[in-house]
Chains A and B, each alone.
Chain A
Amino acid sequence: MSSSRPVVLVIEDEPQIRRFLHTSLDAEGFDVEEAGSGKDGLVMAANCRPEVVILDLGLPDLDGVEVIRRLREWCAVPVIVLSARAQEKDKVAALDAGADDYVVKPFGIGELLARLRVALRREAHVGEPGGTSVFEAGDLKLDLAARRVTRSGFEVHLTPTEYRLLAELVKHAGKVLTQRHLLREVWGPGYVERPHYLRVHMANLRQKLEDDPARPRLLRTETGVGYRLATE
């Protein structure tokens, strides 16, 4: 019998953290499956078809980034990385490999739950047939079908590159997109080593869409990693 409770697979070798996650997530309405190693995790992911995977990077058998890569070979389940590695280059490696989000240990359960919800919501959107073509956040409205951007009802003129950049962020709203990902998708593979293109256009977008570009509410910077379109 399929439960209405979403299934979360926790791949983590520390039993204390598994125990704490099991207790907390169960109380929040998730069915929790556990795996203590990368290989077990991959088998479980195939067997129990989780709605979301919580993955530790420091596993005894396989590196977490490798687990993401193998998982991505056959499935698109959202992966939230949970790691003690706080350096930007580790985050970028995991995100580039296909992770959806990255939470640094130690973390509060509230923060993890928020990320879980975002991931599930995004997953639900992708699953919707046809999907919605209109995105709204605050006073900003983006009509993907009509290629129209309005702010408080007034149309905002964007250059084609700015539009492509915004559309890519909207498509993955709530998720951190690495610089490399954005450069490749918006400008093309030849531009991945020219991050200043992305930064300058992002600055222009903020000038047009944010009240105070120095304190953006929508177009958030994850310094050293990439950008995220805030949905909350």
Chain B
Amino acid sequence: MPNIRPDPDALLARVQREEAESGRGKLKIFFGASAGVGKTFAMLTAARAEKAKGADVVLGVVETHGRPDTAALAEGIERLPLRALAHKGAKLEEFDLDAALARKPRLILVDELAHANAPGSRHPKRWQDIDELLGAGIDVCTTLNVQHLESLNDVVGQVTGIRVRETLPDKVFERADEVELVDLPPDDLIERLHQGKVYLPEQAGRAAENFFRKGNLIALRELALRRTAERVDAQMRDYRDEKGIRAAWPVAERLLVAVGPGEEGEHLVRAARRLAAGLEAQWTALYVETPPLLRLPEAERDRILRTLRLAEELGGKSVVVGGGDVAAEVLGFAHAQNVTRIVIGRPKRKGWRMWLVGSTADRIVAGAGDVNVELVGAESKQATLAAGVIVRSRDVLGVERARKRRWPGYVAGIVVPAAVTLIGVAMQPSFALTNIVMVYLAGVVAVALFLGRGPSALSAVLSVAAFDFFFVPPYFSFAVSDTEYLLTFAVMLAVGLTISTLAARVRLQARIAGYREQRTSALYDMSRELAATDSIDSIVRIAVEHVSQVFASQVAVLLPDATGRVRHPRGHSVSASLRGADLGVAQWVFDHGQPAGSGTDTLAGSDTHFVPLAVGAKAIGVLALLPANPRRIFVPEQRRLLETFVGQIAVAIQRALLAEEARDAQLAAETEAIRNALLAAISHELRTPLATIVGASSSLADPPASMTEPARRELAQTIAEEARRMSEVVGKVLDLARLQAGATRVNAEWHPLEEVVGGAISRLSDRLAGHKVTTRLPRETVLARFDAVLIEQVLMNLLENAAKYTPPGCRIEIAVEPRRDEIEFTVADDGPGLPPGEEKKVFEKFHRGAPESAPGGAGLGLAICSAIVAAHGGAIWAENIPAGGAMFRFTLPQSGEPPLMEPER
């Protein structure tokens, strides 16, 4: 029974597309079969109509090519000045993207959608400029010729013999909101050409004239019409999907195109794209990377990359998998992904191997089961000639290098049978011939194990020949007297070749395993280190170290600040750090979540490759990579490895960010709790003296007649005392608030110990008047490093507490003792001591010694001491002295030597 519900995947895709497009501008393409059909004219006419309706229209780039009627249409519409660019001495003019974004009209006209921008522009292609305009919510009108469409590029090339360099990914065309076909019958176009109304680049000359032959024009017109019709068809289907009209839903087709390293890859991908468009299928380009392919010359690996990128540009997915057998991997992928059709190239090579094991294509067909397999023929050579020549000239280098590496193997393939022959000569008198055959086979096995298939095959053939020549009568002749030996030779050769194939396969698998292991261990090393840390700084350091080592590059991790601007890393850098990476590019990468710079489509002029560090769709940073050898980075397996590394780094950074957030949240919660306790304590501590002051002063202001002079004085003194107490509380609250807000910085300098002690005592002299204060300090002046203002405050708070909680007449001793790497301060008294169990509690915030005791004070003093000592990296604690009294101690760690002083002259 046919499923009448819309395919959820397709619906989801449409919803996402519509969401993405809701804030975007609309793109309208004036589409034509060739130059001269009047696209620019039609576009300008439409723009004038919009302007007449009152729309804000601006001309970005409009090529009138000196045609007066077109130029007349452009009159009276605001024109954006072009941007002048200097490139290699020549002055070029380009569309000014930034000016257009800044001007932000409602509609902008930008001619020639497929135009390639001059080097030094932000994007290599104009359609990318237009994409940014659309992203900024600006509507765009543009023009396009059918020959520039990427998927039709080769077809047009074959029809006309001219292949254009400037191509446009089909997805841009397909995503356009409106496509208007500007059509002109070929005869009229040729007529216009003869009237000189068609612009031809001057250098084009004859080639262009050939292009405008009627046959070509008819073919191009057909392509343009058909492409437009396909689009209309797709729109129609969209509409029906939306309304759920379709009666029957075919099972969605999934198409897989298997590409190899050969030249035919691009052709295959284009063919697959056309097929997929016809079937309305999702499609994937798959490259199976076998170990021999890993050793391909760089030019060919580049070509694979280009092929895969082309697939992405044409709207497909590209996947690279590693494996030993192409056919098995393709079939495995096809079954896992529910592929319904596999597109492969027709096998090119003929030969014994093909005859023996069959081509990859044959094996795919054999194993395809219910999956359709389409074979695509090779493309005509003419159109790709130019590209082919370049590729081949590079090939030469690559192949030569490869041969250089191989010849020692073949030498060994000759030497080993020769050596075995010598051994055989020595054995001949005492051993049967069959044993000599065994020794030859042993030699072949050895060559196969260490040197691979080629040398071992050579070795097998030579072994048979040598055996015949030296050991089979008649001796020293290849002739054979006993025909029975022919069977021996055949078996010996077959066994030798089989062994060599098997041994070579084992070697190959060992290499694949080794290679995978190397990748895995590089990744594992980094993951392990990343897992062990959650500080952003060390994650960045680990990432830079590992990525730079594995990819032989200078590396930087750029993270955004609070405002979302990408910044250079703060703090230390390691030797592999990349300094001075272009923040502009990095910002673009961060904002768009797409790679840029070298090896990409965006800002390809930069030497540096920028990849977003993204978790899900959101970029959290950018990895900048300046490879020592750019080609190495962009081979598929390195790319894949880099992606995995980037993923790991992004996850680690994300984890660290979340941890930081959690810490902040916890801190905020704690701060909140402290703030509440503080408010409660303050309101109590301030209200009590305030009550006394208000009461006493109101009595003084309106005194009863009976109030005596001494009573009056006593009230005034009470007011003064309570006011002083309030002032103290306020001062301490402010100090603590400052310390907790981090506004107080430890300003550690070298101070004589006695100075800070003397300062504290003298500032508290009034309060200490009733006590006997003694000091115990080193006889010599000792310098120590601390913040004198803060430490004086600690001493004052401790002294004040001692005075407050001991009866008058008690002794208070301040002792300072320098130790090896710390200074210990002690404030001791011989008073009643701390209540047992209170030694730790006293340092908790707002804890008061005896809640209802007379002296008062918010218990803030010790909290302040504790904060200050902690800020110095020291410790503070309290003890009771066995002989009686309390003792407060704190230590300040010391390091380094006091600064030197010039001797006095």
Contact = CB atoms under 8 A, between A and B. Distances in A.
25 contacts: A86-B731, A106-B724, A160-B905, A195-B749, A196-B749, A196-B898, A199-B755, A199-B783, A200-B752, A200-B781, A202-B752, A203-B781, A206-B754, A207-B781, A213-B758, A213-B781, A214-B754, A216-B762, A220-B758, A220-B762, A221-B758, A223-B755, A223-B759, A223-B792, A224-B789
A204 B781 contact: yes
B754 A196 contact: no
A223 B899 contact: no
B425 interface: no
Interface string B712-729: 000000001001100100
Given A196-B783, A221-B759, 18 more contacts: A108-B720, A196-B901, A199-B752, A199-B783, A200-B781, A200-B783, A202-B755, A203-B754, A213-B758, A214-B761, A215-B773, A220-B758, A221-B756, A221-B758, A223-B755, A223-B788, A223-B792, A224-B788
B750 A199 contact: yes
A23 interface: no
Contacts of A212: 775
Contacts of A222: 759
B899 A215 contact: no
B9 interface: no
A197 interface: yes
A159 B762 CA distance: 27
A194 interface: yes
A51 B57 CA distance: 77
Nearest to A106: B727
B551 to A, nearest CB: 47
Contacts of B727: 106
A17 to B, nearest CB: 14
A158 to B, nearest CB: 11
Nearest to B816: A214
A19 to B, nearest CB: 15
A88 interface: yes
Contacts of A200: 752, 781, 783, 901
Interface in A186-228: 194-197, 199-200, 202-204, 206-207, 212-216, 220-224
B775 A214 contact: yes
B758 A214 contact: yes
A14 to B, nearest CB: 16
B686 to A, nearest CB: 14
A132 interface: no
Interface of B: 720, 723-724, 727, 731, 749-752, 754-759, 761-763, 773, 775, 777, 781, 783, 788-789, 792, 814, 898-899, 901, 904-905
A207 B778 CA distance: 12
A200 B756 CA distance: 13
Contact of A203 (B752, B759, B761, B775): B752
A41 B546 CA distance: 68
Interface in A126-173: 159-161
B159 to A, nearest CB: 82
Given A199-B752, A223-B756, A215 B781 contact: no
B754 A199 contact: no
Most chain B beta-carbon neighbours within 10 Å: one of A159, A200, A222, A223: A223
Contacts of A216: 758, 762
A207 B756 CA distance: 15
A115 to B, nearest CB: 15
Contacts of A159: 904
B162 to A, nearest CB: 76
Contacts of A223: 755-756, 759, 763, 788-789, 792
B755 A221 contact: yes
Contacts of A220: 758, 762
A88 B752 contact: no
Given A197-B901, A215-B758, A223-B759, A88 B750 contact: no
A216 B723 CA distance: 30
A215 B762 contact: yes
A98 B763 CA distance: 24
Contact of B904 (A106, A160, A215): A160
Most chain B beta-carbon neighbours within 10 Å: one of A197, A214, A215: A214
Contacts of A206: 754
A214 B783 contact: no
A203 B749 contact: no
Contacts of B777: 214
Contacts of A202: 752, 755
A221 B756 CA distance: 8
Contacts of B750: 196, 199
A122 B755 CA distance: 26
Contacts of A161: 904
Contacts of B720: 108
B754 A213 contact: yes
A214 B781 contact: no
Nearest to B747: A224
Most chain A beta-carbon neighbours within 10 Å: one of B752, B792, B814: B752
Interface string A40-84: 000000000000000000000000000000000000000000000
Contacts of B751: 199
A200 B751 CA distance: 8
B899 A194 contact: yes
Given A200-B781, A207-B781, A224-B789, A215 B901 contact: no
3 residue pairs, one from A and one from B, having the closest CB atoms: A224-B789, A203-B752, A214-B754
Interface in A87-126: 88, 106, 108
B595 to A, nearest CB: 50
Contacts of B775: 212, 214-215
Nearest to A187: B902
A212 B757 CA distance: 11
A203 B778 CA distance: 13
A189 to B, nearest CB: 16
B751 to A, nearest CB: 6
A4 to B, nearest CB: 30
Nearest to A107: B727
Contacts of B899: 194, 196
Contacts of A106: 723-724, 727
Contacts of B898: 196
A197 to B, nearest CB: 6
A207 B720 CA distance: 39
Given A160-B904, A197-B901, A200-B781, A214 B757 contact: yes
Contacts of A213: 754, 758, 781
B761 A215 contact: yes
Contacts of B731: 86
Contacts of A214: 754, 757-758, 761, 775, 777, 814
A202 B750 CA distance: 13
Nearest to A88: B789
Nearest to B755: A221
B797 to A, nearest CB: 14
Nearest to B743: A87
Contacts of B761: 214-215
A123 B888 CA distance: 45
A204 B761 CA distance: 20
B784 to A, nearest CB: 11
Contacts of A221: 755-756, 758-759, 762
Given A106-B723, A108-B720, A195-B749, A203 B762 contact: no
B44 to A, nearest CB: 65
Contacts of B752: 199-200, 202-203
A216 B755 CA distance: 9
A159 B754 CA distance: 21
Contacts of B749: 195-196
A216 B758 CA distance: 7
Contacts of B905: 160
Contacts of B723: 106
Nearest to B796: A223
A214 to B, nearest CB: 4
A231 to B, nearest CB: 15
B754 to A, nearest CB: 4
